[in-house]
Structure formats: C-alpha cells, structure tokens
Amino acid sequence: MSNDDEAELVDQHSLMVNVARAYYLDDLTKIQVGQALGISRFRVARLLDLARELGVVTISINENPQPEDTLATTLRYRLGLRECLVIPTGDAASSRRQVAAAAAGFLANRIAPHDVLGLSWGRTLAAMTEYLVDLPPVRVVQLTGSVGTDLAISPIEILRRAALRSGGEAFPIMAPLVTDSAEAARMMREQSQIRRALDLFAELTIAMLSVGSWNPATSQLRAQLDEETQAQLEAAGVEGEVAGIFVTRSGEVLDVPPLRRLIGISAEELRIVPRIIVAAEGAAKAGTVIGAVRAGLANSLILDVALASEMVSILDRE
C-alpha cells in the first residue's frame, strides 16, 4: 500500500470518527453534521453505517433507565402524548439553552419539504432559532400578532430566523396580538397581507410553541391585558396561555369577551394540526403545559427535568 493510500485511509477513519461523535454524542442531525464537516447527508449516513460495521460505534441498551427517561415515559402514557422528550439540564440559567437546542434538533429531524410550519413566540423559541442549522424549504407561518416590546423574542423575529434557515416563504402577521377592540381586530384580519397568514392556519402540519404561566407570571401577554380582562381570567381559573390561547389546568379553553380583540390562531384551528410541539422549561409552567395538552393544544413535549417532575407530581396529586 502506498503512502498516499495509507493517508487516505487515515483521513477516512478520522472523518468517520468525527461524524459518529457529532451524531451520537453531540446529538446533531445528519444534515447538521454534513454542513459542519462539508459533506452530504448521504455520505454522513454511509459513514455512520460503516462505523457500526467496523465496531467504531457500539450501541448498548441500559435496562436501568435514567430519571429523565422515566419521566418522559410516565408523561407520555398518562397524558396520551405523541412524543415526550425530557432533557437532563443543569442550573436554571442553562435549562433554556439546553431545551432550545433539543427543540431545534427535534424539529429538524421531523420536518419535511411538504410541511407547513407555524411558530408562536417566546424566549425558548427565540433561543431555538439560534440552534437551527438547516431546515427544508417549507412555508413558515406566524401564529399570533406581536406581543411585548422585546423585538429579539417577538414572533416576527422568530419567523424571520426560521425562514432564513429554511429558505422557504415566510407569512408574517404585521399586527399586534392585542388590539384596541374586537372591531379593530376584525378589520386587521381582513387586511390582505394578514389574511395570507391566517388562511394558512388550516394547512399547518407542524406547530412549535412555548407557554406562559399566569401565576407566577411568565407570560408576556398578561401585561398587555387590562385589569378587567385579567380579573375575568383569574375568576375563570386561568393557568396560563399557549400561542395566546388561555387554558385552565383541567384543559378548558377560556373565551372571555375581551379576548376577542386578539389576533392569532384559535383553539379550534390549532387542535387540527397533526404535530403540535411545546418546548418549555421551569417548574412554574407545569399546570399550563398540562392544561394545554388536555385542551388538545399540544401532543408532543420537550421539557427540562424540573418541569417534567412537577408535572408528574401534579398528576399524582389529582
């Protein structure tokens, strides 16, 4: 064997090890691995198969599941979820980043070119877009009007980042989530640009959402509502909101009259989306996530351990 042949074999083995490490240990998708190493995802797949055949990668099944695996299985069974992923996080400061990174990989592994992706807003989803390496060219739809003053986590900014990663067409809602009146909301919904996004709600195949709790207040939307509306929601037993839809822990969707001035997807429109993913962290959101699932507004969850543990505790007490 010539020196050139030996060098080529060494390079091939090194590349195979790097591919395996990125895929199995760093939890990158095949597309992400390929982009990082400058090779096609098909070559990534071939190298992963070769790594298994040569024993570079061996897979074993630990019959003693980790706590996060047990939590995920428990929640999937007790709430009837399509999928549940619980992330073993560290301190509170790192939990959002870890959940966001997991959500980016989760989405990338499940989305296909024919899909229509809907996005809400929030810090977790904003962080998720930073970890998105590549998405197929899908239509990306904003699910609500804008809320709050932090542009970095606004639905329009999240939509923009996701559409850049995809290269697909973006459908924004250039309006506030909370308008001055029900009549103002009705008139805005009839504007042609906004109507383009609203009309796509019926075609959504994947929705990626975060949630906000009411007490303690993690929802940006709460501060946008007047005291009378807040009082009506509290009297009705509000737990929190998902994509601007308020729910109780039992899964009731609250429809107090002042909420008719909101511009966004309705509970009825969201329920028919085949895959509704909620990415969230923090024990304070447990009741809201449970309520969203029971209301049919989520069927796949990506959670940190603290949130998943609190959800199981609530279910145990009921």
pLDDT digits (tens, 9 = 90+) for 130-184: 998 878 999 999 999 998 777 777 889 999 999 999 999 999 999 999 999 999 9
In whole angstroms, give the CA distance from residue 226 to residue 45: 54
The residue count for the chain: 318
Tell whether 58 is covered by a domain: no
In whole angstroms, give the CA distance from residue 59 to residue 177: 48
Structure confidence at residue 32 (pLDDT):
85
Specify whether 27 is located in the same domain as 90: no
Tell whether 60 is covered by a domain: no
Specify whether 72 is located in the same domain as 26: no
Give how many domains the chain has, as a whole number. 2
Specify whether 123 is located in the same domain as 226: yes
For 231-250, how does the pLDDT look when each residue is reduced to its tens digit (9 = 90+)? Answer: 999 999 999 999 999 999 99
Specify whether 25 is located in the same domain as 153: no
Structure confidence at residue 10 (pLDDT):
47
Q: Which two tokens stand for residue 284?
A: 């304070």
Structure confidence at residue 62 (pLDDT):
62
Tell whether 59 is covered by a domain: no
Specify whether 23 is located in the same domain as 148: no
Tell whether 170 is covered by a domain: yes
Tell whether 8 is covered by a domain: yes
For residue 306, give the amino acid letter.
A
Tell whether 62 is covered by a domain: no
Specify whether 285 is located in the same domain as 224: yes
Specify whether 259 is located in the same domain as 182: yes
Per the listing, tokens 């010539």 go with 2
At a CB cut-off of 8 Å and minimum separation 6, what does 259 contact? 229, 246
Tell whether 116 is covered by a domain: yes
Specify whether 13 is located in the same domain as 81: no
Specify whether 116 is located in the same domain as 236: yes
For residue 158, give the amino acid letter.
I
Per the listing, tokens 């309006």 go with 175
For 72-98, how does the pLDDT look when each residue is reduced to its tens digit (9 = 90+)? Answer: 999 999 999 999 999 987 766 688 889
Task: Provide the β-strand partners of residue 264.
Answer: 144
Return the sign of the alpha-carbon dihedral for residues 315, 102, 281, 291.
negative
Find the CATH number of the domain harbouring 144: 3.40.50.1360
For 11-31, how does the pLDDT look when each residue is reduced to its tens digit (9 = 90+)? Answer: 677 788 888 888 888 778 888
CB-hemisphere CA count at 13 Å for 229?
20
Instruction: Count the neighbouring beta carbons within 10 Å of the beta carbon of residue 95.
Output: 21
The H or E element spanning position 117 is strand 116-119
CA nearest 105: which of 123, 81, 130? 130
pLDDT band at 293 (very low <50, low <70, confident <90, very high): very high
Tell whether 118 is covered by a domain: yes
Specify whether 101 is located in the same domain as 225: yes
Specify whether 142 is located in the same domain as 34: no
Supply the range of the domain harboring residue 179: 67-317
Instruction: Look at residue 318 and tell me whether its pLDDT is greater than 60.
Output: yes
Specify whether 224 is located in the same domain as 307: yes
